[in-house]
Amino acid sequence: MCDGTARRVRLRPRLRGVAEGLPRLRLREFFCRRAVLFMGQRSGRQERSKKPEMSLSENLTAEEEDNKEENKELKTKDQRLPLVFGVADLKNGAVGLYNMGHTCCLNSLLQVFLMNIHFTGILRRITVPPNASLKRRNVPYQMLLLLEKMQSGKQKAVFPTDLARCLSVHRMDLFMQHDAAQLYLTLWNLVKMQIKDQDLVTKLSDLYTICVQEHLACQICSSETKRNSNMLTLPLPVLDSNSHKLKTLEDCLQCFFRPEELTGHNMCFCEYCEKKTPFLQSMKLVHLPQTLTIHLKRFCFERSASVHKLSHCLPFPEELDFNAVLTEQQSQAHDNEKAAWQYELFAVVTHSGSANFGHYCAYIRSLTECKWYCFNDSTVDQVSWDDVKCTYGHSDLYWGQTAYLLIYMKKHPQ
């Protein structure tokens, strides 16, 4: 059975490779920051070193002075936030993010979020936390500060240090390999959980949430149950029920929405028949959001419980019309809803390597310039659609880039 979750393997960060290219004056600060992040025990900056003979009142005074300075600095940043227009490539060209030790997955997903002007439009309207401690723990606020940092200078890349500290407070392990689909869900849930304005929470859900209707029909008495479910991604299989490789993204969609018979050990208990009976399980599409995320389940569990990566070629279109892919029986939506089911590709998060280790990067189409960029940590290059198509995958290119997450944007939103 296929599963979209790759095993996370703890790897020792290669500090020497990460530190290359840093200015010498900042090298000591870099390693100090890494030590704080790795411990995962402090949510803010490092504590000042204090002499043993300092009295308690002197300690409190020093701490108060620190808080005043930090609040003053944060207040200055808050005053600049209205100048953030909401897309990382608007002012000084696309800006990269330095890898701080196995943070390529985080960097790629942050670029996907921050290059989405619909997402940053919501981010700009959040309520600023009232004090320094809450600001350090608030993920949407730290994402907004990172966006401001990316736009305010002329540097080609910046360190997402403060945001990484913030995520470590929320028990997100750093300096280890993450699965992009899992981390995508974690980041989105943290942002949604920490936005206090319910109107903005609704807008965020409407922007990303997919709604499907699950059907279970007893094959003996024909009784049927229906249930609506919301999901952040469409987890599409890349193999069919007979473990044959699917050839296109449209084939994957058809396989996901194709009814499946539950027999043998998979039979369900029927309340009307009062016993386990064969069931027909099907999924029908109800609603698609403005930003649609598709998760290609490239990581597959074998009978030996080991995980391997499916790297075979799977083309995906630059434009996608769900009305042309799904049948009438595979959707449960009104005509007005279906009229807006035309999409164009916005971003591709790719993975290189095996199921146990590898590297992530993101190909993103700028919504302001309509140009494709490859975000590979601190390196950002303009690319063509032909370059993006090289991420389709290839069975013989074991270490080649393979598309893992596809993010589509509605062409004509309602």
pLDDT in tens, the chain (414 residues): 444 444 333 333 333 333 333 343 343 344 344 333 333 333 333 333 333 333 334 443 444 555 555 555 555 555 545 444 444 544 457 899 999 988 999 999 999 999 999 999 999 999 999 999 999 999 999 999 999 999 887 789 999 999 999 999 998 888 788 899 999 999 999 999 999 999 999 999 999 999 999 999 999 998 888 999 999 999 999 999 888 999 999 999 999 999 988 988 889 999 899 899 999 999 999 999 999 999 999 987 666 567 778 889 999 999 999 999 998 889 888 888 999 999 999 999 999 987 777 899 999 999 888 899 999 999 999 999 999 999 999 876 667 789 999 999 999 876
Where in the sequence is the domain holding 379, given as residue range(s)? 233-257+290-410
For the chain, the first-to-last Cα distance in angstroms comes to 38
In a domain, 369, yes or no: yes
In a domain, 177, yes or no: yes
d(C-alpha 188, C-alpha 389), whole Å: 27
pTM for the whole thing?
0.78
In a domain, 294, yes or no: yes
In a domain, 161, yes or no: yes
Of 169, 193, 208, the last residue of a domain is: 208
Whether residue 107 is found in the same domain as residue 248: no
Q: Work out the burial of residue 45: count CB atoms within 10 Å of its CB; fewer than 13 is exposed, 13-18 middle, 19 or more buried.
A: middle
Whether residue 150 is found in the same domain as residue 249: no
Residue 6 is classified by DSSP as: P
* Domains contained in the chain, number: 2
Tell me if 400 sits within 8 A of 389, measured CB to CB: no
The catalytic residues are 104, 359
Tell me if 109 sits within 8 A of 184, measured CB to CB: yes
158 strand-pairing partners:
97
Q: Tokens 């000591």 appear where?
A: 28
Whether residue 240 is found in the same domain as residue 359: yes
d(C-alpha 218, C-alpha 313), whole Å: 37
Q: Supply φ then ψ for residue 59, to 5 degrees.
A: -60, -45
d(C-alpha 297, C-alpha 45), whole Å: 39
SS3 132: helix
Tell me if 406 sits within 8 A of 348, measured CB to CB: yes
In a domain, 244, yes or no: yes
Whether residue 158 is found in the same domain as residue 248: no
Whether residue 203 is found in the same domain as residue 307: no
Whether residue 204 is found in the same domain as residue 239: no
In a domain, 145, yes or no: yes
Dihedral sign computed on CA atoms, order 321, 324, 327, 333 = positive
Single-letter amino acid code for the residue at 123: L
What does the chain come to in residues?
Answer: 414
d(C-alpha 270, C-alpha 303), whole Å: 30
SS3 241: coil
In a domain, 219, yes or no: no
Whether residue 161 is found in the same domain as residue 237: no
